[in-house]
Structure 1
Amino acid sequence: MAELFLIICALISSYSAAELEYFNQSEILTWDEARSHCQICFKDLATLTPQNTRNITDKVSTDSWIGLRKNFNSTSNSDEDGYSSNSTSNNATNSSILMPWSRWANGDPLTFQNWYPGWPVFKKPPPPRDCCSCSCTCPATTTPRTTTAAYFTDFTTPGVTGSGRVEENTQGDVTNYANSSTDQTMTDVYAFSVYDTTNETLSTDSTNIPKRKAPGFTTSPPTMTSAPPIESECVRSPMLTPDIPDSEDENYIEDSCVAVLSFGAWIEKECSERLPFICYDERFVGEVNVTNVTTTSASLKWPKGPGNISHYRVEVNGQEEPTDRLTNVTFDLEDLTGGNLYSVQVFPVKCERDLNPQKVDFYTTPNKVRNLTAAKMTETSIFLSWDKPDGKADLYVVKWLEEETETSTEGVEVDGLTPGSLYNFTVIAGVKDKSEWSEESRISQYTRPGKVSNLRASENTNTSLWLQWDPPKGNSLSYLVMAVDSDNNDTLVDPKVVEQTKVELTGLPQGTKITLSVRALVGDTLKGAEVTIQSYTSPEPISNLILTPDDHSLSATWNPPQSNYSSFNITLTFNGSVVDTEYDLTKPSETFKDLMSAADYTVTVWAVSGSFKSPPVTKSKFTLPKPPTDLKVTMTEKNKLSFEWDAPSGTASNTYMVNISSSFWGESYPQTVKDQTSHTFDGLRSGTSYKIEVRTDAGGTFSSPVTVSRFTVPETREVSLSMLCSSPEILLCDKKDTRESVLRQLEAFLERELGREVFWELEK
């Protein structure tokens, strides 16, 4: 059976996500040694593609091994399709069992070929040989034989122009035809065999038979049955095999490896030959993470490098010597400068070769600013200044309330503030990219308070006055008040610091022109602008104010002051309301008429000198009360009496003194009644005569009483008296006059003993 290999390369562009780098190695090694070196120090031997061929061959000056081999010998187990279940490198090894030149060393499929003309060299098939002949003798009954053949129908391979077909030639061989194509598309290589009906393979090459069916074959080859022959006996007789020597191409290499020439073409060489070689590796990309950053230190951590990394080297700008031979993937930087920018490179070292460095730039935390001070306070602004921190700082941020401002200098004026307000300022130093900030430096400062307004003096007396003002715009905590003599600038009273906006100044000299000033204060020393006015003290007060009332008028008299005065003012008030005011009185007396009785009146008198009054002198007095009228009893019971009365006309009092008394029992029950003109006494004795009195109460001064007497309802009991009359005179007791005389004596006795304060009756 003849073998025919068809190799069709499909150009399938594939791009790895990783960036690949290629390294020409001048060391002279066998292909296996070269691959082992590449796998240890790089990724693997180079895999060529249309994209990288030019880049690789530009650096090649002599024949060099690449990662392609005809057959990869392996003892690892493969699945049904012939692919290893092991690593990627094993995939290349096991897949080549199916066909030569099918995979690269790293397991990538062969999608590109660039053979030098005449390469690769295939093994020529041997000529066909007859192994036996048959002769038929006596007929005999035979069993029909069937022959099964594989038929290859027309097919079109994607990417390949033309069709292939398999035909059975006259010698029984199967030939595969395929049109050539300029497109290079990877297809399988098929070997075909012809089987007889006993499933004995007539000719096959087990190394080139795929386990899957080749495209183009029918799933059920036709079965041909021959007609029964004439019965005869077929006897096999051996024939001599012609002696035909095997024919091999002198350039054929059974176990060949591929080398690339300096101009890019491929050739086969014995794998044991020693050549330079080309390795490739994936460009290592990693990132250094920086944590625990302080003003003087930081912690570095990076991912492990690929493959056999022997150690790491850390290079930091600003440090003369790199940190070499690190086996861990962490490192702590010490003795750094606050606020400085550091560039760090971490080089994984593999076979004494630096891989692509992992880089990171970071700032250390700046130190806090020093000597933060506040100065030049105005009502709406404060100037802040500070010293530059140790190390470096690119900018500063000043914060207050919900506001902030940024500056590159060591000072800033903060404006737009509220007068007299306390502000807490925070200053932090930062680096250029604002990734790191220092600790906070703090200071508190007030703005200067504003001026008070509407400053005025009132209630001037001979030794005092009230000073009042409106607060300034913004805020203020307290006020500084001063009073000096306008003529000689002598301080009249000690300066006062008060929190309210009204204050009384006492101990002033009489009749003196005084300069008064007020300044708003915040903090301990920050003062607002001064505001001043001038005022005078008043004359001395009057003395010995005497009030004389009756039931409808009130007279007032007083002694004038010893100092100068021009007149008197007098005011009469009742329940806080002014009833009458008299001005410019020249005499020290005044009478108010047509007043209410039992009313509490207040009289106030001032001495006046110009526009200023003396301290007031005040006294209160009730007018005399009028008695109530029309007192009468409204209800009488055994132990209760109710009564009412009318209030006196023209009186302001609504308070009355009521009293009920019994002379027989010696009892008296006084009570005060307010806001009503009726009352009830309970708990009295039945059949008793009670006297009721009602008086008008004017602040402890009582009017004359109005009275009424009434018995409570008696609870009667009968007492029988038996009298024995004896007389020396016969029949004297039977005389009418005698009986009446006795009864009168009895009644007189009861009258004398009981009186008429309790109820009793004598029935004859």
Structure 2
Amino acid sequence: MGQTSLKNGVPIVVSLALVFAWSAAEREYFLHPSNRTWEEARNHCQACFKDLVTLTPENVQTVSKLLTSDCWVGLRKNSTSNFNSYSISNATNNSTNNTIMDPRMPWFRWANGDPLIFQNWYPGWPVFRSSLPNRYYFVCPEKASLETAAPETVTPETVAPGTGTPDSGTPATAIQATGNVTGHLQETTFATATAASTPSTPSTPARCKITRWPDEAHYVLLPDFPKPDKNYIEDSCVAMLSFGPWVERVCSELLSSICYEDRFFGELNVTRKTSNSSILTWRSGPGNITHYRVEVTEGDNMLKRNFTTEDLTFDLNSLTPGTRYSIQVFAVKCTRDLNPQEDTFYTTPNKVEDLKFTNVSETSVFLNWTKPAGNLDFYLIKIKNGKQISSKTEGKEVRDLIPGNFYTFTVLSGVGDNSTRSEESIVSRNTKPGRVSDLRVSRNTHHSLQLNWKSPVGNVSFFRVVATINNKPPVPQNVTITEVNVTGLPIGSKITLSVTALVNGNIEGDSVTIDDYTAPGPIQDMNLSSTDVSLNASWKTEGDSSSFVVELLLEGKVDQKLKTHFSEITFTGLKTAAEYNVTVYAFNGHLNGEPLTRSIFTMPSPPTKAKSTYQDKSSITFEWDPPAKVGRVTYAVGIISSFWGHNVSERIENKTTHTFTGLKSGTKYDFRVQTVADKELSTAATVSHCTDADKREISLSMMCSSAEPLLCDGKATRDSVFKQLLKHFNEVLGGNIFWTLEELEPK
């Protein structure tokens, strides 16, 4: 930081100084080489820019780079923005006020009113008066008298700045002040005084006696007037030398100048955009704008239009659909373009034409359409489920659809920035339904077959079932469920059966076909036996059947299906405690016999890892792991308290947790769980657990008597009695209920 001295009441910064930070808008700087006076330069800057340049530590380097010669800047010694002011009330007319400038604060503000936070004077500048005045500058009211003060009675200590009364002494010869300065004199503000004559001796100050004031005479001191220096300029303007420092120059001297202007950031809006029109609106520019120039660019083509300052809107017409337009609006000021207001937009593209399907499968469709007039950058395909696909060509395969589902496809044309899209073109239809699965034949009789299948993924309205017998015309039937009993068949015949899924009345999927036979005869005397994981079946049949089909069904569904040449078969890897149906039919060549079905439960396997998962004062929740390979199962659960004689048993289905309620607090309960299969029970999984204790404190007092009194007072005696009590309660209560025994210290 540079050093500061005070001369003639003016602070002088002799090196680069930053007083405080100053923020401003983003500014642009313009060098004008034409020579002008300071006033002419400022007028030009205010007319075509904002003002003469204001220098700060942040912009001084930028401005210096523009200099080619000495230039005016926006700083003037006696600019009205530099001074404080005060008023003096006229004794006879309080309505008249005159503003008087204080010369003690030159170069205090820039021409635009910004504070002077930075100075960079060339050595020897600025130039001040040769000597300081002896006193401050004051003003006498109208018709007050100027007097020469006696040196021994008028001193800075006896007369304060502003108004005041000297301690003693009589005023000397009065000299009448000239001028007609009116107003009320303020103690804390200062201004320049002008008198008809000055004291004859510079070292003797003058004072002003105010005779109009009613109470008593008041006096103020008038200054000495020093002679100016040789290079002193009374009303100077600041010029910046080509290499940066500042000097004072006579304001009428002709120099180049630097103007500044805050960068203009406008706002251009494009509204009511259609396929061939839009409306532009923009913000007015600052200062003396002569006109606005609008430039509309489409590719290599440009449209230019000029508008007056009153017209801030432009209707664009005859535009091309789906086309990108770049807009720039220039505010023109003194033939100079300000920072442009800019925007880009697309016109709305036209809708596609002749949208149709060219191929439909179970999970995809292929769409085709015709390119519309105008421009576009892509096509957007929207599907009812929210999925969107883009395309660059006039055709697209849409994949990953649900078979048999009804879809609405919407195709729009779009532009590069996705800001606007065309109207919708829409087509709808079902995808092809899927193929049925797991088609099988069961319940073969002499004259009928039971046909079952699984519905395909997706949507199906109904199924068409067709039975073909020995190349005779098929007999179709429609069903809405996934099974059908085909009857009226000849015994022992080969039957070809097909199932086709349909949607929306007539949209067919691919057919699934199976061959089977009517049965030759029934199975007799079937016997079943089981373990917990296996099942054995044996049977007899009429006739000379050498092969058999055995089906094992669980919960109505085929679990296993085997072929054998023997009349006995064992199924393994079964679910424990599960009810299985065994169906057997014979076949001889292409003939299937009538099936016979029997059912049996596999033996129950015990559950495992019984444990308690929660307890409170009146309930306990137990949990266990089910046996391996178990299906829908029933468990027998029970709980016993040997202390209270409490015994509860229940049956639960398909759960591996159970809560017993209404229990005693602080009690041990023994839990058991068994798997139930028909009337059979597995071995039990057990665990014990206690309810939370509802603690109560019971005090026992015992009196000790002994021929030897000291025995009752001994710790050994107390310990012996405590151990006997502890043993007794263990025998009576044990671990069946919660209890503790604590010895209290004797009082």
**TM-score, structure 1 as length reference:** 0.47
Structure (1 or 2) with the larger CA radius of gyration: 1
- Normalising by structure 2, we get a TM-score of 0.48
